[in-house]
Structure 1
Amino acid sequence: MIGLEEECVSPHVVMAQRNHVRLDWRRPYRTLERVRPTAWTCACRATVYELCEGGGRAFIRRTTQFDGDRQVDESPRWPVNEARVIWTALLSGRAR
């Protein structure tokens, strides 16, 4: 029998490291035109992260699901290359 972890095709965020960088999460606000998710974490967890890019800028969207309720928060906008570095840090537990 295959376990749930083995069925997942998107990455999971590892546990935050003790000295992780705290990201500034905000309620969604006026977004970039033509923004699209380019990477995301597995939807099997209560919190899903998406790396969103558009117009040379990028941000991370965090969606938390509790008992049918959803809360969406977004990071500040960064240049795409900087956002990709932060995305990698988030996946590895060095940012949250």
Structure 2
Amino acid sequence: MNDVLEACLSPHVAAMRRDCRRLEWNVVRSGRVRVVVWTCSCRATVYELCASGGRAFIRRTVQAEPVAVICETPWGPPREAWEIWAALLAGRAR
């Protein structure tokens, strides 16, 4: 395995599969959120599973110059957000 990937502590998103589900990405809401899990920051796009007020969602950050582009999925029940998170990591959602 690549030495860089072996040094990473967070998971990486798998390559997008042919049957990939397209996620809805929206403007970031304001407010306090708790980041529960995240993907490795060694890639240009980082994903975070976030929670706030009994709701959960996925935040996507595209690390770009001069400023990062951040968006998120609609907020919903935590169970649904975890299902989306699993699909995202497996390459079945983007």
TM-score computed with the length of structure 2 as normaliser: 0.92
The sequence identity of aligned pairs, in percent, is 53
In structure 2, how many angstroms separate the alpha carbons of the residues matched to 1:69 and 1:54? 25
SS at match of 1:52: strand
Unaligned runs of 5+ in 1: none
The 2-side partners of 1:63 and 1:52 are apart by 13
Match of 1:48 in 2: 46
Structure 2 residue runs of 5 or longer lacking an equivalent are none
Count residues with an aligned counterpart.
93
In the TM superposition, what is the alpha-carbon distance from 1:68 to its structure 2 partner? Answer: 4.1
- Displacement of 1:56 in angstroms is 1.4
- Distance (Å, rounded) in 1 between the aligned partners of 2:25 and 2:71: 6
Alignment partner, residue 62 of structure 1:
60
TM-score normalised by L of structure 1: 0.90
- C-alpha distance in structure 2 between counterparts of 1:11 and 1:92, whole Å: 11
Q: Provide runs of 4+ in structure 1 moved above 4 Å.
A: none
CA deviation string 1:15-62 (max 9, x = no partner): 11111110000111244xx42000000000000000001221100000
- Counting only pairs closer than 5 Å after superposition, residues 3-42 of structure 1 correspond to structure 2 as 3-31=3-31, 34-42=32-40
